[in-house]
Amino acid sequence: MNFYPRQWPELRITNLLDDGIMGLFSAGRWDDARARLLEMAGVGQRVYGAQAGLVSCSAVSREQMAALRAASPIPLLKIDEPMAGLATAAASRIGLLVTFPPTLPIAEQLLREAAGEAPLEIVPVVVPEAIAALLGGDRSFHDARLIEAADALAGQGIGALVLAQVSMGPLVPLLRERLGIPVFSSLETSLSALRRLL
């Protein structure tokens, strides 16, 4: 999350990470996941003086976020919600670039919920070899595969491109210039939403 301090130096960030939450979601244990997330929000406020919380877990649905917000001691923002709203306002045919396959149905649902009754066509491309390369330390291969996939999506007449993983954020300026269409990353859009929230 170095993006945030670079863009907003006054912002003080404390990361509270519990990778076990993904296991709770996988096991269908939403009540336990909800309790843990709310506990983290409380610690953020009491111990670190947090004024807001950014939920970066993509497995949290819109309904679950509403329940979290209702019970949280601080305002909460889901990292990819602002991105979905802006993307669906920008185009009705959206390319969705995904590197972690389990993200695909969640990202599609998020976009459809953001579009509401408006017409929406999602053109997804999953590039699992890109995230495998990134995890192995090969950013060059990761970026090259994503640029190739983005070019292919642009050739299918999309009006906007959504980058589903935060790790793709550094490619946004290059892809915007290369494709000539709006390109959305949750890093940029969530920062703007955080500014409004705070």
Fold of 81-186: Rossmann fold (3.40.50)
The radius of gyration of the chain from alpha carbons, rounded to an integer in Å, stands at 17
DSSP string across 166-178: GGGGGGHHHHHHH
Q: Could you report the per-residue pLDDT of 136-146, keeping only the tens digit for each?
A: 999 999 999 99
Distance between CA 80 and CA 77 in Å, rounded?
9
* pLDDT category of residue 167 using cuts at 50, 70 and 90: confident
Per-residue pLDDT reduced to its tens digit, 91-112: 999 999 999 888 888 899 999 9
pLDDT of residue 1: 52
Residue that wins the pLDDT comparison between 142 and 26:
142
Q: What is the mean pLDDT of the chain?
A: 91
Tell me, what's the pLDDT at 88?
97
Distance, in Å, from the CA atom of 150 to the CA atom of 51, rounded to the nearest integer, reads 37
Q: Where, residue-wise, is CATH 3.40.50.1860 in the chain?
A: 81-186
Q: So what's the pLDDT on residue 121?
A: 98
Instruction: Please tell me the pTM assigned to this model.
Output: 0.78
Q: How far apart are CA 64 and CA 110, in angstroms?
A: 12
pLDDT classification of 36: cutoffs 50, 70, 90: very high
pLDDT tier for residue 172 given thresholds of 50, 70 and 90: very high
DSSP 8-state code for residue 189: H
Percent of the chain with pLDDT over 90: 63
Specify whether the CB–CB gap between 133 and 72 falls below 8 A.
no
